[in-house]
Amino acid sequence: MGAAVMGMGIAMPSCPGQQALQQQVEALQTSNAELNTKVQALESGVKNLNGSLIEITKILQQTGINIDTQSKLIQNLTSDMAALRSAKPAKSAAKAHPLKKRSR
């Protein structure tokens, strides 16, 4: 008789609450796996963006150095041009009043 009771327990479906709980667990496991895949994709994207950001930062730093260098060169050229402009009127004044040649 013990075998018959045991056989009935195996043949009978489990509790309805247990079956619903098992379905919820399976749904959560599936959802968890999908979310893990999405998280991995997002982590990969963030790593790529971080690498790009580091590269952009280096480029911007070098660009800043280049701009500073060019600014100094432009300032030097501006100073040199101002010096040349101030030197030209003195030369042109000398040319405006040349010495007269004496006729013999």
Q: pLDDT digit string (tens) for 52-84?
A: 999 999 999 999 999 999 999 999 999 999 999
Q: For residues 6 and 58, what is the distance between their CA atoms, to the nearest angstrom?
A: 74
| Residue 1: predicted pLDDT | 58
User: 11-49: string of b/e by CB count within 10 Å (b at 16+)?
Assistant: eeeeeeeeeeeeeeeeeeeeeeeeeeeeeeeeeeeeeee
Q: For residues 102 and 99, what is the distance between their CA atoms, to the nearest angstrom?
A: 9
| Residue 96: predicted pLDDT | 58
Q: pLDDT digit string (tens) for 6-62?
A: 555 554 556 878 889 999 999 999 999 999 999 999 999 999 999 999 999 999 999
Q: For residues 29 and 10, what is the distance between their CA atoms, to the nearest angstrom?
A: 26
